[in-house]
Amino acid sequence: MVVTPTDLLWDYYRQFQDFYSHCLTFADKRVAGWMLMSSPMYTIYLCIAYLLFVAIGPQIMAKRQPLESKVLLLVYNFSMVALNFYIFVELLTCALKSNYNWICTPVDYSDDPLAVRMAAALWWYYVSKPIEFFDTIMFILRKKTRQVTFLHVYHHVTMPLLWWIGIKWVAGGQAFFGAMVNSSVHVIMYMYYGLAAMGPEMQKRLWWKKHITHYQLIQFLWGMLHCVVSLYVECPFPKWMQYACICYAGSFFLLFSNFYIINYLNKPKKVEQNGSYFLDARIFVDKLNTLVDELDDGRRDVSKLKVIKYPHPTLAPTFVTMATATKTSSDVITNSLPSLSKLKQAHEQELKSQSKITNTLKLQLQDLVEQHARTAQHHNNLTDSRRVAVKKSQGLLAQAAALETDNKGCQKKVESLDREMLEVREEQTTWEDDYSSRMNDIRAKITGSKRNYSPGVVERRGEELREEKVRLLERCLQIEEEIRKEEEENQET
């Protein structure tokens, strides 16, 4: 029997279904009826939709203006501060009231109010993960796609999936620790984002962004150490969850370490050369991207902008020219900003008017194209109709020629029958005359002759003459019938 790839896939699917059904036998029954917990497909669908938006969102926004909504950013960030603070307080309160052991605490699957309260707090932590998709959505709508990195997408798309598993099987016990620490990190992080959304004046006072990354790195190390210690003391908490947390936290530690090294540890290597400073190329690009983001967000004042140069042979003249800019040139730039702003507004208005004209021309061109298509279609239809009409006319002409030939043949046949009928009538007349003459002769002979003719002989001879006359009449009628049929056929034709 040949095994096809489809059969293999179905076999793997059935094996997975059997494995999932087996895992459900020891799942937490308390959370089975909670929102999003009856099936993993709801979470999977949300993550797929998130990835699709990450893929097509920048393309959709490519020709659109970035979304600027300060109120929306403030509401979202401070709402996330409140939600994560609530989760942190709930987890800490339940742990303290339940006398949790910070090294080893198994899951309490009972209906004890504190155990259910702990499970509910962890469920809220899981629910907060899909809500955090809004981070990426706002980056894309504001056209800050440089911040949508692999680390960013990896973090947001994996957290809901893994924590659905956590709530489904281990809603309590050791699971509270990582969620509680991460909630405290998110309180600080969203507080920073909310304050930064207030504007440039507030952003100048936010000096502690780097320390958020410090805290994130510490939480990953702390989480891995917590799981390692639990495994060492043989804590009756599911070991598969412990190993999964170690691997997952380790991946985050590596990715965040790379982020921290690129953004904070790679300081510019300054080399004095004629009063100018030169940087490594990769660091220069990173610093330039950071500078663009700060200028976009209003965190960097253009009047205090310091120029950074890179000594590439083809780029050196440009950077040398930039390096000669002084405070005076900065003042000139600052003073020229209003006029540049007006020029930008005028240019944007002109672009809008040109865009309207372009759209109008596009619509007109589209109408012309559609009209041309309709005309071409109509012309094709007329051409097809003309071809059909020509073929039909040719057929009718051929039929007319055939009918004309048949008509001529019929006329000739009628003329022949007419001649034959005349001949028959003449023959009939001749026979009638001959018959009359013979009868007269016979009568005269009978009357004047002395011979005694037998009456029987006379009658037989008369009968023969009458029969011959009948035959002649039948022949005349037959000829007339043939002539009538030929005339009817000729009229129908």
Distance CA 186, CA 179 (A): 10
Q: Which amino acid is at 132?
A: E
Helix (H), strand (E) counts: the chain: 14, 0
Cα→Cα distances 356→66, 353, 362, Å: 19, 5, 10
Label residues 191-202 b or e (16+ Cβ within 10 Å = b).
bbbbbbbeeeee
Contacts of 148 (CB under 8 A, 6+ apart): 54, 58, 136, 139, 140
Are residues 238 and 170 in contact, defined by beta-carbon separation less than 8 angstroms?
A: yes
Asked if residue 281 lies in contact with residue 180, where contact means CB atoms within 8 angstroms, the answer is: no
Q: Take residue 427 and report the two structure tokens written for it.
A: 């023959």
Which phi and psi angles does 450 have, rounded to 5°?
A: -85, -15
Annotated catalytic residue within 22, 152, 155, 347: 155
Please give the radius of gyration of the chain, using alpha carbons only, rounded to the nearest integer.
54
- For residue 155, indicate whether it is catalytic: yes
Q: Which residues of 264-283 are buried (b: 16+ CB within 10 A; e: fewer)?
A: eeeeeeeeeeeebbbbeeeb
Please report which helix (H) or strand (E) contains residue 428, including its range: helix 327-448
Say how far apart CA 435 and CA 453 lie, in whole Å.
Answer: 19
Rounded to 5 degrees, what are φ and ψ at 286? -60, -45
Catalytic residues: 155
